[in-house]
Structure formats: C-alpha cells, structure tokens
C-alpha cells in the first residue's frame, strides 16, 4: 500500500443551480481590477519587498492603470504602515487611484489601520474573517453565530473608526475568507449581516469580496457559487461583488473569468500571479485574454518587458519562458509546420483586418515583441522555418522544392552541431549547396538574340580551364542555354521547374533564380544570384549542371 491514496479526499459539493445563467453569457467589458501585489504577494515572498522595491512596484501599478491598489496590512507591519504614510504624506496617490488596506476583524488592528490612512482622500478598508466549515470547526472551534458575530463586530468597528475621519471618503470591503469552502446559505447570511450594518446604497456601495482562498473545485463550481451568491444576497444593487481567486488547481484565471460571467464586477489579483502557495489570479493573463477577444482590458500592458523587469527586481522570482502571453518563448515557433503556417498567414494578413494568423493568437508587436523572435531554426524546423529566415533576412523566396531540399541540409547540419542554426548559417548552407555556378563550368558572357518567340544564345564558358562558346535555340534564355548545353554534352536535359525574382535587400545581388533540371532521369537543383535576371537564370542552370556533374562523379 503506498501513501498515494485518492480515497483520502472528497469531491467538492456541487451547487444546486439548475437554471444557472452564466454559461450563456459573454464577457463584454473589463471588470474593475484591484491589485493586491503589495499585500498578499509581498507576504508570500521569501524576502519581503524593501521600501525601494515597494515604491517601484507602486509606480508600475499606477502606470499600468490600476485604479484600486491594496498597499499593505499597516496594522500588522511597521514597514506597511510607513509605506501608507509615505504615499499619503508625499502625495503619491493620483486623484483617480484609491488605496486599499487589509485588516482582520479585530478592534486594535482596525483602530491602527485608520490611523495609517489619516489624510487619505479616498480609501478602501478591507476587513475579513474566515467562514468555511473547516476554519469554523477545526481552527476557531466556533459555531456559525460566533463567526458571524466576528464579521458584524468588524463591520461596526469600521463604521465607528471611519466616523473619526470624516474628511476621507471611506469605502468598506468585507471578505468571507475561504468563501468557496463555505456553505453558500451561510456565506450569504454572514455577508447580509455585514451589509445590514453598513447600509450601502447604489450611490455609496460597499464591496463584498468572495475569495477562493484555497482553490479546491473546478472553475464552473466557483462560477455557480458566485451566481448563487449574487442571486441571494441582499441589496445586490448596492454592493460591488468582487472575486479573489487562488491558483491551487491552476485555474485561478478561468475561475475569475467564469465568476465575471456569473455576476462579479471586480477582480482582485496580482501581476503574473504571485501570491501565497501557487499564487493569486494573474491579472496580466486575464487582461490579455480579454484583449485577445477584442475587449479593452483597461490596463496598459503594451510593455511586458517593463513589467517583468520590475516584477523580478521586486519579488526575486523568475518569469517562466512559457508564461501565457508574455513569456520569452511564447511567440517562438520551433516546429516546421507551425513556422510554415505562421509565414503563410503573416503574408496574407492585411493591416486593417482582424488578426488571423495561425499559431499566433495575437500580434506579438502589440507587446513590443517582433517577428525576429518568431522563428528559430533547429532540427525540427522543416522547410517553413528555413524559408522564413531566408526571406526575412536575405530577401530570397525559394520555390517549394528547393525549400524541401535545403531543409534537409539544414536538418543534417543542426543534428551535426546538436543545436539551433542561425540565419547566416542557413544562408551559407544555401550558397554552398545550390549556388555552384563556377566549377567545372563557368559562364563568362553571353549574347542573346530574339526572333519572334525564339531566342538564340551564344554563351561563352570556361570548362575545366578551356574557353568555349556554346550555341543553342529555344523559347527564352533558359531553353536556349539548355539546348546549347545538350548539343555540347550530348546529355538529355529538361527544365522541370524554374523561378526567379528581384531581390529588394539582404544581399548585394539584384536578382535570384532557381532551376530544377532533369538530366538523364534524375533531378538536380541549382540557384544563382546576380545583377540581372537573365544572368542569374543562366548561372542557376549552370549550378544545376555543375552539381549534377559533381554528384555523378561522386557516385561513379
């Protein structure tokens, strides 16, 4: 018998809500955001933030556009108290930003909390006590009435202390901590009792914050709980329903999103999900989820690198390279088929149409990332990646059959050196393998005459040190040159495929040509770069002929 025994656990009880409405709704606008980075997240750090780090984090949160920011637990920590005083005394709080502070429902702590906030223009005082069955029965060993009594007393104390500081616009917030593990009827009973003390109105609402303190059910269960709560709580029009999810099961964002469908107006969380245990709801992820659905997240997340820098400096925590939306590697495709699809979609994407790019849910440029990071080439990249980097960095549009051939060369090289191949190496591999227009035959010059649709060519070549002029006729310079070669060598040569294009930038050449020949039943490819398309075409044919000779001699 191992210790790993599922019978130790019970499933979360479902909520009786057969006519639940939330699954049929859609999120249409951003919720009110409240950052708790400077409290919960800060509490959960091995090294709490120092004053300079708290100030840096505060500046970032304001800059991102948060309008409600929980700045600490001033009654429990002198540094938090001092930080709140600094914010107020140094006039650091913009007019449209409200600070929030956390306090347990205890008289001495509440009194001290109001002292910390003296002089604030507007402030949210957030009082909480735990209501879940396990907390009541095992931690506090108190019955329902006694636990409700703590909440009511806390609510009364907030009212009493607030009355001492009438110059401040006070907003009261109550959290039934561990709400999602509380019986729903009891959670409503406790919150109703608090609401009854505060008597909020639509003009002066209070905030009721519903935490999934420990996430212990699927997000749909939390959504049912929130909808049930919203339907049963008193004075629904006078309360702002807020949610505060944690990420124990990895679903904090999903739970908050579904809670918004279920009626929540406000969402608490932290940047990149820092917080107790597995962390709080990640506001960057949820906001970017909204953004990618065409909804204004009402936060400016356009510079995630700045967020990551401040976050790591203040928390000493790393950001995973695959973190949703902003991780270092999330816009990098390694798989060849993904790269191919991205390249094709990007080519067709018009600036004024909705974003439709395979494998890229948003335009990385919106986050200050560029396409440089999209494609890297390794042994799994395939032709898409190879084609992408040659086009991007050297202006070369290889035909499909040459992409396939070059990809195999790149793959062998990547396996040989066991790693990623950069674009300069790919270009060199392309030159080495396909641009073989010098040995054993080299083009020195040519004369081309056209009569009707027929071209006559006289091509001066040097073959193994001997100069010759090859003559031939055909429709177009390539056919004429192939005809000249066939007369000269006695070989049966057919052009299987051919393409050319002008080169905008990336190399010194102005034209590129690619040709595939069938010589004696086998296919050979060649390419050339030159100052004009005719020279490039003739040299591409020569490259294929030279490669054929080299391969035939190697096989002989």
User: Residues in the site for ligand KIV, rule: CB under 6 A?
Assistant: 40, 128, 175, 177, 209, 211, 213, 244, 246
Written as six digits, the tokens of 270 are: 């932290």
Nearer to ligand KIV, 183 or 328 (CB): 183
CB of 222 to ligand KIV, least distance (A): 13
Q: What is the helix (H) or strand (E) element at residue 528, kind and residue range?
A: strand 522-530
DSSP 135: I
For residue 128, the partner it binds in ligand KIV, Zn ion, none, with Cβ less than 5 to 8 A by kind, is ligand KIV
CB of 275 to Zn ion, least distance (A): 6
Nearer to ligand KIV, 64 or 127 (CB): 127
CA pair distance 308, 326, nearest whole angstrom = 9
Nearer to Zn ion, 36 or 534 (CB): 36
CA-nearest of 211, 292, 303, 300 to 259 is 211
DSSP 371: G
Nearer to ligand KIV, 207 or 357 (CB): 207
Three-state secondary structure call for residue 161: helix
Nearer to Zn ion, 40 or 215 (CB): 40
CA pair distance 198, 238, nearest whole angstrom = 10
CB of 36 to ligand KIV, least distance (A): 7
Nearer to ligand KIV, 175 or 411 (CB): 175
CA-nearest of 93, 88, 96 to 117 is 88
For residue 500, the partner it binds in Zn ion, ligand KIV, none, with Cβ less than 5 to 8 A by kind, is none
For residue 219, the partner it binds in ligand KIV, Zn ion, none, with Cβ less than 5 to 8 A by kind, is none
CB of 294 to Zn ion, least distance (A): 30
CB of 212 to Zn ion, least distance (A): 9
**Binding to Zn ion (CB under 5 A): which residues in 22-61?**
40
∠ CA(539), CA(543), CA(547), 5° rounding?
170
For residue 177, the partner it binds in Zn ion, ligand KIV, none, with Cβ less than 5 to 8 A by kind, is ligand KIV
Among all residues, whose Cβ is closest to Zn ion? Answer: 40
367 Cβ partners below 8 Å, 6+ apart? Answer: 301, 302, 303, 304, 325, 326
CB of 39 to ligand KIV, least distance (A): 8
309 Cβ partners below 8 Å, 6+ apart? Answer: none
515 Cβ partners below 8 Å, 6+ apart? Answer: 478, 495, 497, 498, 525, 526, 527, 537, 540, 541, 543, 544
Nearer to ligand KIV, 102 or 360 (CB): 102
User: Helices 423-434 & 400-417, crossing angle to 10 degrees?
Assistant: 120
CA-nearest of 67, 262, 236 to 245 is 262
CB of 371 to ligand KIV, least distance (A): 40
For residue 175, the partner it binds in Zn ion, ligand KIV, none, with Cβ less than 5 to 8 A by kind, is ligand KIV
Binding residues (CB under 5 A) for Zn ion: these are: 40
């Amino acid at each position: 018998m191992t210790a790993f025994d599922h019978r130790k656990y019970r499933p979360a009880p479902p909520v009786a809500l057969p006519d639940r409405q939330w699954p049929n709704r859609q999120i249409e606008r951003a919720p009110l955001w409240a950052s708790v980075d400077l409290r919960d997240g800060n509490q959960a750090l091995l090294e709490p933030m120092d004053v300079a780090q708290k100030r840096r984090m505060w500046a970032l949160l304001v800059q991102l556009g948060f309008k409600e920011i929980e700045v600490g637990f001033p009654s429990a920590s002198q540094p938090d108290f001092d930080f709140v005083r600094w914010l107020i005394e140094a006039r650091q709080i913009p007019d449209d930003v409200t600070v929030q502070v956390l306090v347990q429902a205890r008289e001495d702590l509440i009194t001290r909390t109001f002292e910390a906030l003296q002089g604030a223009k507007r402030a949210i005082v957030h009082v909480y006590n735990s209501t879940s069955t396990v907390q009541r029965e095992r931690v506090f060993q108190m019955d329902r009435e006694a636990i409700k009594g703590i909440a009511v007393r806390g609510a009364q104390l907030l009212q009493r202390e607030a009355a001492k500081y009438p110059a401040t616009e006070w907003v009261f917030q109550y959290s039934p901590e561990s709400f999602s593990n509380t019986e729903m009827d009891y959670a409503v009973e406790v919150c109703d009792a608090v609401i009854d003390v505060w008597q909020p109105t639509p003009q002066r609402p209070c905030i009721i914050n519903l935490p999934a303190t420990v996430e212990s059910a699927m997000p749909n269960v939390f959504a049912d709980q929130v909808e049930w709560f919203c339907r049963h709580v008193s004075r629904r029009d006078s309360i702002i329903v807020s949610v505060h999810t944690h990420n124990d099961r990895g679903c904090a964002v999903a739970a908050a999103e579904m809670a918004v469908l279920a009626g929540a107006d406000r969402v608490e969380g932290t940047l990149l999900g820092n917080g107790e245990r597995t962390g709080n709801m990640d506001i960057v992820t949820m906001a970017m989820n909204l953004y990618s659905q065409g909804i204004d997240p009402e936060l400016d997340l356009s510079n995630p690198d700045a967020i990551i820098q401040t976050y790591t400096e203040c928390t000493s925590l790393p950001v995973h390279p695959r973190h949703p939306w902003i991780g270092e590697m999330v816009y990098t495709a390694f798989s060849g088929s993904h790269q191919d699809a991205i390249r094709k979609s990007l080519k067709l994407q018009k600036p004024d149409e909705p974003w439709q790019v395979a494998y890229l849910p948003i335009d990385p440029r919106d986050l200050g990332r560029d396409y440089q990071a999209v494609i890297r080439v390794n042994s799994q990249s395939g032709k898409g990646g190879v084609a992408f980097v040659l086009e991007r960095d050297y202006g070369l549009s290889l035909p499909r059959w040459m992409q396939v051939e070059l990809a195999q060369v790149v793959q062998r090289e990547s396996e040989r050196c066991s790693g990623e191949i950069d674009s300069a190496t790919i270009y060199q591999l392309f030159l080495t393998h396909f641009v073989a227009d010098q040995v054993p035959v080299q083009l020195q010059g040519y004369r081309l005459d056209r009569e009707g649709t027929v071209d006559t060519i006289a091509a001066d070549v040097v073959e193994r040190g001997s100069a010759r002029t090859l003559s031939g006729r055909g429709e177009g310079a390539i056919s004429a040159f192939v005809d000249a070669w066939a007369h000269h060598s006695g070989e049966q040569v057919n052009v299987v495929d051919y393409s050319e294009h002008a080169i905008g930038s990336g190399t010194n050449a102005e034209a590129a040509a690619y040709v595939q020949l069938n010589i004696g039943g086998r296919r050979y490819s060649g390419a050339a770069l030159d100052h004009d398309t005719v020279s490039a075409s003739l040299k591409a044919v020569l490259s294929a002929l030279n490669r054929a000779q080299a391969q035939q001699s190697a096989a002989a």
